[in-house]
Amino acid sequence: MARKIVLLEGFYVYGIKVDGTLRYVGKGSNGRIYSHRSIALSGKWGRGSDRVRYQALAEAIKRDAKITYLLYADKLTEREALLLENKLIQKICQSNPGQLWNKDRKSDAAIAERRAATATRWAKKGARKRHSRMMKKKWQDSTYKKARSVSIAAAWQRPDVRARHLAGLRRVAPSISKKVKALWRDPKYRANQVADRKSRDYSSWPRNNGSFLSHK
């Protein structure tokens, strides 16, 4: 059961209630929980779901709504906080759709919106190259790399994420297989791959009954 916040230690998972109704579930550290009010009042709401959330909070503050903060758990690692946050959001979205200002990323409308936005973004000239350069630069940042690694690991604990990923792989597998076969028909590509594999040290690879594990 959620309790009022008294002391914040490590990473924590919290909730924001507006007039007694839980409207937001998040995770953070230090004073993250108290930043929402200042951002809402600043008018700098960002885009997408962030904008929707902060605009709604700003309107609540203006009408003098009662805003309270709840703490579900603290003294967590970042991974533990992400797992608990995801669990709470999905549980509430399933039982009371539309209650949270968190975006329900699993809804059909949310999925369709993301796909449309992605298609529009990729249609722009040079978009893929710019995105590739941007992501390579981001992953060179150790802080970003650590945060994303934790987030991805937490997401992979969810069966629905694994199922969606597997379904996606099954959809694209035939086309990928054709491309790979076409590459291997090129003598130069084949020679480079063979040379690369011969140059690798496989001594640290896992073994099964004295022989290398095979991947079929």
Where are the domains positioned within the chain? 3-104, 162-199
Asked if pLDDT for residue 216 goes beyond 50, the answer is no
Asked if pLDDT for residue 215 goes beyond 50, the answer is no
Asked if pLDDT for residue 211 goes beyond 70, the answer is no
CATH number of 3-104: 3.40.1440
Cβ neighbors of 37 (< 8 A, separation 6 or more) are: 57, 61, 67
Asked if pLDDT for residue 106 goes beyond 60, the answer is no
> What's the confidence (pLDDT) of residue 214?
41
Query: Which residue is it, tokens 């130069």?
Result: 188
The pair of structure tokens assigned to 191 is 């020679």
Rounded CA separation 76/5 (Å): 15
Q: What percent of the chain has pLDDT over 70?
A: 80
Higher pLDDT, 123 or 117: 123
Asked if pLDDT for residue 65 goes beyond 50, the answer is yes
Each residue of 44-58: pLDDT tens digit?
776 666 777 888 888
Asked if pLDDT for residue 113 goes beyond 70, the answer is no
Rounded CA separation 5/74 (Å): 10
Q: What percent of the chain has pLDDT over 90?
A: 9
